[in-house]
Amino acid sequence: MSNVLVIAAHPDDEILGCGGTIVNHVRQGDTVHSVILAEGITSRDPKRDREERYDQLSQLAKDAEKANDVLGVHELILDQFPDNRMDQLDRLDIIKVIEQIIDRVKPDIVYTHHIGDVNIDHRRIHEAVITACRPIPGQHLVKQLLFFETVSSTEWMPPQSAPNFIPNWYVDISHSIEAKLKALQSYTSEMREWPHPRSIEGVQVLSEWRGSNIGVHHAEAFILGRNILINENEENQ
Check whether 141 has a pLDDT greater than 60. yes
C-alpha 140, offset from chain centre: 21
Asked if pLDDT for residue 54 goes beyond 90, the answer is no
How does strand 144-148 pair with strand 219-227? antiparallel
Confidence of residue 28 (pLDDT cuts 50, 70, 90): very high
| pLDDT category of residue 48 using cuts at 50, 70 and 90 | confident
Give the predicted TM-score (pTM) of the model. Answer: 0.95
22-31, 110-119, 228-237, range with the lowest pLDDT: 228-237
Query: Do residues 40 and 62 touch, judged by C-beta distance below 8 A?
Result: no
E strands, the chain, are 3-8, 31-38, 75-81, 109-113, 144-148, 169-172, 219-227
Count of alpha carbons within 13 angstroms of residue 210, beta-carbon side: 29
| Residue environment code for 185-214, b if the CB has 16+ CB neighbours within 10 A, otherwise e | ebbeebbeeeeebbbbebbbebbbebbeee
Which has more confidence, 214 or 231? 214
Please give the pLDDT value at position 103.
97
Give the C-alpha separation, 211 to 171, whole Å: 9
202 sits in which H/E element: helix 200-214
Whether the per-residue pLDDT at 233 is higher than 90: the answer is no
Please state the rounded mean pLDDT for residues 145-165: 97
Q: For position 17, what pLDDT does the model report?
A: 98
Q: Report the 10 Å Cβ neighbour count for 78.
A: 18
Q: Say which residue, 159 or 2, is predicted with more confidence.
A: 2
Tens of pLDDT along 62-120? 999 999 999 999 999 999 999 999 999 999 999 999 999 999 999 999 999 999 999 99
3-class state of residue 237 by DSSP: coil
Burial class (CB in 10 A: 0-12, 13-18, 19+), 168: exposed
CATH number of the structural domain 3-235: 3.40.50.10320
Q: How many CA atoms lie within 13 A of 142 on its CB side?
A: 28
Q: Round the average pLDDT of the chain to a whole number and report it.
A: 95
Model pLDDT for residues 183-221, shown as the tens digit of each residue: 999 999 999 999 999 999 999 999 999 999 999 999 999
Q: What average pLDDT does range 36-64 have in this prediction?
A: 86
pLDDT of 134: 97
**Cα three-residue angle 196-85-100, rounded to 5 degrees:** 105
Arithmetic mean of pLDDT, 159-167:
95
Supply the pLDDT for residue 52: 79
Phi, psi of 14 (to 5 degrees): -65, -35
- Can you give the pLDDT at residue 126? 98
User: What per-residue confidence (pLDDT) applies to 231?
Assistant: 80
Residue 98 contacts residue 54 (beta carbons within 8 Å): no
